[in-house]
Structure formats: structure tokens, C-alpha cells
Amino acid sequence: MIDTTLCHLEQNDCYLMLHRIKKEKDVNKDKWIGVGGKFLEGESPEECARREILEETGLIVDQLEYRGIVDFHCIGWPDERMHLFWSNSWSGQLKECDEGALEWVEKSRMGDLPQWEGDKIFLKLLEERAPFFHLELFYEGDRLVEWKML
């Protein structure tokens, strides 16, 4: 299983979203996602999230809330365990990202963006301030075929 992180940075009722448009061979091509990435050897989930946020945005997160775990399963792809974080506290200046275009998106517009269907589930849990959760998502290609809370 591949371990990854994803963080949703929030300010003024907006999330900082990454529109994945810069890499040709990208499983997330053309989708809007939070910021994050794969663990380096020996990293904790929080260390990975902080590093990825800095690399992709130039921002240094002051406080992170560890909100949940999301397991992805799709035939033809390795299983992935994503550690989900949220923050509204950071410093630094936003920089250009080499993986896509960063944009502050109003939360009310999130449902209009091209996203993975499972992302809509965990974004709703974030918005509801649900307690720590463990979500399992099953895909066939781009289509979510099943999901469950563990």
C-alpha cells in the first residue's frame, strides 16, 4: 500500500485547491485536489504533509489537524492510504506549483469542479467537522463503485 497525504488549507470560506494540469502522465490529470503527496522513507504522516505543503505551495503550516484516513482501491493501481489533514494556520507567500495551478476556491463552488467522486465524500466530512474517520473507496477506472466508513 502506498502512503500519501492530502491537506485542505482553508481561509475566508475557501479551500486552496490544486488544478492538476501540468503533468501529462498524472492519475489526477485535470482534477482539482488538495495539496499533498507520497511519503519519503521514515516520514510520519504529519512530516509528509508539512513537507508537501511547503514544496507545492511555499507555505509553512503552523498547525495541522489530522482528520482522517482514506483508503483507495482500484483494479490496475496499487492500493493507497491517504492521511487527510486540514489547516487554517500558516505563514509564507504562495508560490507557483510545478504540478498544477493553485487557486483559492469558494467552498460553495467545490461541487462544480472536476474531482474524484470520493473526494466529495471526505470534503463533506471535513465541512461537517466529523470526528476522525476512516473511509474506504473502491473505484473502477474513474468511477466510484462503492464506499464505506470503517
Q: What integer pLDDT is reported at residue 7 of this predicted model? A: 96
Q: What is the pTM of this model?
A: 0.92
Strands of the chain (E only): list them.
2-11, 14-19, 32-33, 60-61, 65-74, 80-87, 90-91, 101-106, 133-140, 143-149
Overall average pLDDT of the 30-46 stretch: 93
Q: Can you tell me the distance from the alpha carbon of 91 to that of 16, in angstroms, rounded to the nearest whole number?
A: 14
What pLDDT, on the 0 to 100 scale, is given for residue 120? Answer: 92
More reliable by pLDDT, 99 or 4: 4
Question: 45: which 3 cell numbers?
Answer: 504522516
pLDDT tens-digit map of 5-26: 999 999 999 999 998 776 667 5
Please state the φ and ψ torsions of residue 49, each to the nearest 5 degrees: -60, -45
Per-residue pLDDT tens for 41-72? 999 999 999 999 999 999 999 999 999 999 99
C-beta atoms surrounding 108 within 10 Å = 9
Domains of the chain, earliest start first: 2-149 (3.90.79.10)
What is the per-residue pLDDT across 97-144, written as a single tens digit (0 to 9) for each?
888 889 999 999 988 898 989 999 999 999 999 999 999 999 998 899
